[in-house]
Copies of this chain bind each other. A is one copy, B any other.
Amino acid sequence: MFRVVVQVSDIDSVDQAITSCNNLINEMPDAEVEVVFHQSAINAVVKGSRVEERIKELMRRGVTVVACRNSMRSRNITEDQLIEGVKIVNAGVAEIVRRQAEGWYYLKL
């Protein structure tokens, strides 16, 4: 079974990134997928974001959605502002490295 850690950094390409995540799951239904939102893309996982419904749909499909605390802090986003179900890690970049160390494949969208 494939395990894939996906990095999404840029809020301007977040729609494309979510579409690509869905394409990945469609093609590999058994894959375990974790998507890390950091830098400006952190805004995608805030309640009321333009892509809130698509983020929830990803989670309904079994994807783990992760927010970077560093990115939240520098944009004054608090935990309670995140879409329900989104997990938090201290540093998104470290999470991506750690997952690779655990044998996950890496995909930057």
A residues touching B (Cβ–Cβ < 8 Å)?
2, 4, 7, 9-10, 13, 16, 19-21, 23-24, 26-28, 31, 38-40, 68, 70, 74, 90-94, 96-97, 100-101, 105-109
A–B pairs, 22, beta carbons within 8 Å: A9-B13, A16-B39, A16-B40, A19-B70, A20-B38, A20-B92, A23-B91, A23-B93, A24-B93, A24-B94, A24-B97, A27-B90, A27-B91, A27-B93, A27-B94, A31-B97, A93-B107, A97-B105, A100-B105, A100-B106, A106-B106, A108-B108
Copies of this chain per assembly: 3
Q: Are B93 and A2 in contact (CB under 8 A)?
A: no
Give the residues in chain B near A96, CB-CB below 8 Å: 107
Expressed in whole angstroms, the minimum distance between the Cβ of A66 and any Cβ of chain B is: 14
The residue among A23, A24, A31 with the most chain B CB atoms within 10 A of its own CB is A23
Measured CB to CB, the nearest residue on chain B to A7 is B108
